[in-house]
Amino acid sequence: MKLVVLTGAGISAESGLKTFRDSDGLWEGYNIYDVATPEAWKRNPELVQQFYNERRRQVLAAQPNAAHLALAALEHHYDVEIITQNIDDLHERAGATKVTHLHGVITRSQSDRVPHLTYPIRGAEIKMGELCEHGAQLRPHVVWFGEPVPMIEVAAEICRQADIFVLIGTSLAVYPAAGLIDFVPAGTTKYIIDPKIPDVSRYQNVVTIEKGAVAGMNMLNAILAGG
């Protein structure tokens, strides 16, 4: 049975990682348009590189929490596919084996000229002057605002196959990721875990768990075990 999970910032927040949406449009004190757009990169690549080097150090210092671990453990009972909006690698470090990153993963770099060319990062930093095999500067492997989301069609196809669907820690406010729930079959049970449940009134077979990620996963495990 295929269990498809869409995760957002709420699951990583319980590991201490912040996103810009926590503080009125600022991300760690920076305006997102100064650090998370292609225009910002063209305008001040050193600042953008420094910003993501700092975020990468935070990710590497963070640990998967009980919600990440619980999702990985579900692989013992289900064919689990995780789609995440998060750029950290906490799902993988928790043991999840099928993870689709919609917005890239900060522990890899990518070519500024050929976006599909990505590389593992040694240590925590990408330095200015580090080049890809085509001679272009390496940048964070992160989908910035205004850039296409190359994995969205793959994710949509995964959602179409869901026998059980779980949404954790996302407000369904960032598109195109927020539209993925529309591809889940109408008859599939949809579990929504978040302290503030987004508006899902137009969907059928919805079970809401108004909790944080860790407490919500505890409740979901109890429900699945009972089923």
Catalytic amino acids?
103
Burial of residue 89 (number of CB atoms within 10 Å: 0-12, 13-18, 19+): buried
Q: How far is CA 150 from CA 102, 147, 153, 182, 193, in A?
A: 7, 9, 7, 18, 26
What is the per-residue burial (b if ≥16 Cβ within 10 Å, else e) of 14-34? bbebebbeeeeeebeebebeb
Is residue 110 within 8 Å of 165, Cβ to Cβ? no
From first CA to last CA, the distance across the chain in angstroms is 13
Hey, is 70 helix, strand or coil? helix
Instruction: Say how far apart CA 157 and CA 124 lie, in whole Å.
Output: 33
